[in-house]
Chains A and B, each alone.
Chain A
Amino acid sequence: MEIFIPKLVVAQYYLRVINLFLTPACEEQRVKYTVELRNVKKRFGKVTALKGVTLKVLEGEVFGLIGPNGAGKTTTLRIIATLVRHDEGYVNVLGYELPKNRKEVRKLISYLPEDASLYHRLTGWENLLYFAMIYAESKENAHRLAEEGARIAGLSSNVLRRRAGEYSKGMARRIAVARTLMARSKLVILDEPTSGLDVFSAVRIREMIRDFAKNMKTTIIISSHNMLEVQYLCDRVALIHEGRIIATDSPSNLVKYTNATNLEEAFIKLVGDYSE
């Protein structure tokens, strides 16, 4: 009996996915997707990283992509961030189809890669200013953006004047997240923003992201294998496993439909069934 329950849960999700595709066209048009991936596949030599990823991210939501190491989270985010070309399938970001509209999409997104580092010989402020100069059209705007970044990072001016090479991992990550958020892009992509951080630094980063999401109403996609973080930050979550999305819903619904006590347990139930 225990074996059949997860299968039933998965079947429910299949139905939900089918329903999504069967939604009448008029209803589909009313829903504005910031990101849409349909059956996206990606191979690296003999390894198939994505075996057919399908997901839709709504405008203004904080969307979580969760899964174990090697599930395809980073590849999916890199495809959305225009850095990697998919082999098959359809990718649309902010109304632009990829990969042919990469230049247009880059103007509208900002991306924090996993383990992104700072320029160690530049100060914290200069790290912010460099990215601000890339995004801004004028020097004045660049300084305004960098100041916004400094505000988001919440670090004192004394700290910002120090070279990034002297920063702790937590401080460096705050600057890295701030430089991603300060551009006020229509879509922010954060790949494991708290990975490798201590509890205090991770909490601080989560607060930065949550405050930003609440105030700016920007669409944010976060990947993580920290289920608690995703539960705390995200409106909806997609579970990715072995290059496929196996479920998409709000964290509370995922927990509810899988009869789990938390998202971690829900994920194990779904993945456990898939592993069969």
Chain B
Amino acid sequence: MVTIVSKLYPVMWKELKSMIRDLRTLLVIAVLPLLIMPLMGLSSLYLQQYQQGVVVIIDEDRSWALLGGHNVSSHDLISKVVTALKANNFVVRVATNVQELKGVYFDLKVVVPKGFVVNLTSLTRLAYVKIIRTVGSVKAYDADRIVQNELSSYSKYVSQIKTLYLAGKSGLKVDVESVLSPIKVVVGIVGPGGVAASPAEEFRTYLARIVAFSLIFVTTPSIAYITDSIIGEKERKTFEAVLATPLPRQALLLGKVLSTSLVGLMAGVSDAVGLILFFVLPSLAYGVNVLAYLTADLVAIHIVGVYVSILASLALVLPAMIRAGSYRSSQAVSLAIISIASIIFFICLYVDIPNLQPSIKYPLYVLPYTHVVIMIRDIVLGAPIRALMHLGIALAESVALLALSVKMFSDERIIYLKT
């Protein structure tokens, strides 16, 4: 054991020196995510301002009516829709028939058919508005949402008039809201212990999901480094001489894993910060400071999560790499492990793994990544003991896999590995 620990130093010394001297690669790994991801967020936001959607409105009805002394008209409705769309940077063209705008491109078309006002002011019929979206148009969804919002407002306005009209006719005293929306919903938030929680706390749990999701990026650089550290050494013809030395295999593999994990940690943190900036910068543009919700404990648990995910990835990939018959097959295995990690980190955006059915939950518990995700969630939900337990399981699984790698390590297999 003493020999293993004492011989860790030369391996880590050599690995870290080699990695640090590859400055170009390190810079690309560390700086690129910090630039690319916020740029992606900002540029998409910025460019969206310059992408004008086109909405075409056909007023085939062009009529009005009086209901309970109030004017109801297709023109009134359309002018409200036009105002709302223009406020959101849409180009709106209004016509009285389809032929007028034939051949004109649109993201959304709104048709107010003949008889709309008659039906709208009737007490027995429904009034229809036809909305047509252009397939593949991003702006069509925005326009649709705005139009439906205005239609809903106008619908409520007409309902109020009708209610007051009927109340007048029947001589009853009515409260319009009590008739139209008799149920009022009051929403409260509680934490896992049943104690009331604030909206800020609720937002932090969403943020925790994003932080866990950001781990999706941390596995790739470290797996690439460990592949290079073992298969690359074999390719560069530096491995065989080391294998014939008294260097214990545990020290050799552990030294490589630990030094790779340190570089992976740097890359992982950089990736995660880049992802957080991706969300933060656009939200700042809308006047919301998401950064204020990133508390010290969330940042700390994120770094722990990053490191444990890296260790787990290395521990998972190592036995497979050692047994792989060729460079290509070891790359295929690495890709498979990256994919598994990505699936776990992605599903944590939408799924609470501990609440899944046992037949699904327990197989997922076999993977260290699952425990990392749950650990982050538990810290945010104020359950540190449970979080520590999951951290312990993730570490234990990783250590067990590393021990398996040492057991499976075969000099002969590495030497005769096909490149």
Contacts and interface: CB of A to CB of B under 8 A. Distances in A.
A134 B7 contact: yes
B244 A106 contact: yes
Interface in A84-108: 84-85, 103, 106-107
Contacts of B242: 131, 134
A130 interface: yes
B244 A83 contact: yes
A134 B17 contact: no
B17 A133 contact: no
B412 A110 contact: no
Contact of A121 (B7, B22, B244, B245): B22
Nearest to B7: A134
Interface string B99-117: 0000000000000000000
Contact of A109 (B22, B238, B244, B416): B244
A123 B252 CA distance: 21
Nearest to A102: B411
Contact of A84 (B7, B10, B415): B415
B287 interface: no
Given A106-B245, A122-B14, A130-B14, A116 B238 contact: yes
Interface residues on B, range: 20 to 34
A115 B237 CA distance: 7
A85 B413 CA distance: 11
A62 B313 CA distance: 47
Contacts of A234: none
A82 to B, nearest CB: 6
With a 10 A CB-CB cut-off, give which of A106, A107, A130, A189 has the most chain B CB atoms.
A130
Contacts of B22: 121
B169 interface: no
Nearest to A165: B21
Interface in A110-132: 110-113, 115-122, 126, 130-131
Contact of A119 (B14, B243, B245, B415): B14
Contacts of B10: 130, 133-134
Interface string B226-237: 000000000011
Contacts of B236: 117, 120
B9 A133 contact: yes
Contacts, number: 76
A78 interface: yes
A120 B17 CA distance: 11
A167 to B, nearest CB: 14
Interface string B21-34: 11000000000000
Q: How large is the interface on A (under 10, 10 to 19, 20 to 34, 35 or more residues)?
A: 20 to 34
Contact of A110 (B13, B238, B244): B244
B247 interface: yes
B245 A134 contact: yes
B102 to A, nearest CB: 68
A169 B11 CA distance: 25
Contacts of B9: 133
Nearest to A132: B10
A180 interface: yes
A107 B21 CA distance: 31
Contacts of B183: none
Contacts of A63: none
Contacts of B238: 116-119
Given A106-B245, A113-B240, A117-B237, A85 B412 contact: yes
Interface string B398-419: 0000000000000110011000
Contacts of B412: 83-85
A29 B7 CA distance: 38
Given A110-B245, A134-B246, A135-B245, A119 B18 contact: yes
B240 A116 contact: yes
A107 B22 CA distance: 32
A103 B249 CA distance: 10
Contacts of B245: 106, 110, 131, 134-135
Contact of B241 (A85, A107, A112, A133): A112
A103 B246 CA distance: 7
A118 B238 CA distance: 6
A166 to B, nearest CB: 13
A81 interface: yes
B13 to A, nearest CB: 7
A180 B14 contact: no
Contacts of B241: 111-113, 116, 131, 176, 179-180
Contacts of A118: 238
A216 B102 CA distance: 98
Give the top 9 A-B pairs by smallest Cβ distance, nearest first: A133-B10, A111-B244, A113-B240, A117-B237, A121-B21, A106-B246, A121-B18, A107-B246, A81-B244
Interface of A: 44, 78, 81-85, 103, 106-107, 109-113, 115-122, 126, 130-131, 133-135, 163, 176, 179-180, 189
Given A111-B240, A130-B14, A135-B245, 14 more contacts: A84-B415, A106-B244, A106-B245, A111-B244, A113-B240, A113-B244, A115-B237, A116-B237, A118-B238, A119-B18, A120-B236, A122-B18, A130-B13, A134-B245
Interface of B: 7, 9-10, 13-14, 17-18, 21-22, 236-238, 240-247, 411-412, 415-416
18 contacts: A81-B244, A85-B412, A103-B246, A106-B244, A109-B244, A111-B240, A111-B244, A113-B237, A113-B241, A113-B244, A115-B237, A116-B238, A116-B241, A121-B17, A130-B10, A130-B13, A133-B9, A134-B242
